[in-house]
Amino acid sequence: MPGSLTQSRKLEWKWIGIVFQFLLVLHLLPFVTMRRVFLAMSVDGAQVLFTGMWLIVGILLVTALSGFIAKEAIVWESIIASCAISALLLIGYHLIIKPAHLIISWPVVVSQTPPPSWAMPLIVPVLSLVGTWFGERAKSVWRIQD
């Protein structure tokens, strides 16, 4: 009878922190290297495409690698970390970037309207869920045991 009882697994805060830090570096790296894209100053389509692909593919790779490396399943940890990143970036946009666009008139070439506020909190957790699932699946297919 005791063997049939299931134990609920606690959240691994270590993995929430690790995934959060990886996603933070992933999101800040294009900002540091290509400031013109984020300031919407005379950018070409290739730079915008590269930045978008960097973030989408990067989220998938970071979370897949985290899911592959972790000994336990970290699907919820990855989703929590990506929701925290989404909230941080959304708050940062509304507190820093949006007021700066109102104060300084930058020559906006790409688009004057940002993506909708609901897009980031929906897209990033879904991408991290898919990436973590790929990592967990790869671990189970290759039967990696530590």
User: What's the whole-number average pLDDT of the chain?
Assistant: 77
pLDDT in tens, 12-36: 899 999 999 998 888 777 767 766 5
Helices 119-141, 75-92: inter-axial angle, 10-degree rounding: 150
Q: Which residues are within 8 A (CB) of 83 and not within 5 positions of it... i.e. 6 or more apart?
A: 121, 124, 125
Mean pLDDT of 125-146: 85
- The answer to whether residues 36 and 100 touch, using CB atoms and an 8 Å cutoff, is no
User: Which region among 29-38, 86-95, 124-133 has the lowest average model confidence (pLDDT)?
Assistant: 29-38
Q: Tell me the sheet residues that pair with 56.
A: none
The pTM of the full predicted model, rounded to 2 decimals, is 0.71
